[in-house]
Amino acid sequence: MKGPDASGVPAHDKLLPRAATELHDKAFISDETWNALAKTYDTKQMMDLVFTVGDYTVVSMAINSFGMQLEPGVTGFPRVMR
């Protein structure tokens, strides 16, 4: 499996992708993930994480809604349907 549960990745390195996935899926970082991140990151850094994920979410909503196209020659990432 890829993403925050990818095999062979140290537990600490999975925390940021897990937090981003939780924010994307539930608009909330679980207590378990938050507490694990808080062992390494201070309050300001934790707030930066939430705002960064949120900002990218807003930008992606705008780009998708406005129908922005890639520049010629840019292939982009494969589409993932949920």
Rounded to the nearest 5°, which phi and psi values hold at 34? -60, -50
Task: Give me the pLDDT at residue 8, please.
Answer: 82
Task: Give me the pLDDT at residue 82, please.
Answer: 58
The residue assigned the tokens 């990432």 is 77
Cα–Cα distance for residue pair 48/19, rounded to 1 Å: 12
Tens digits of pLDDT across the chain (82 residues)? 566 677 888 888 889 999 999 999 999 999 999 999 999 999 999 999 999 999 999 999 999 999 998 899 988 877 776 5
Residue 14, classified by CB atoms within 10 Å of its CB into exposed (0-12), middle (13-18) or buried (19+), is middle
Helix and strand numbers, DSSP H then E, in the chain:
3, 0
pTM for this model (two decimals)? 0.75
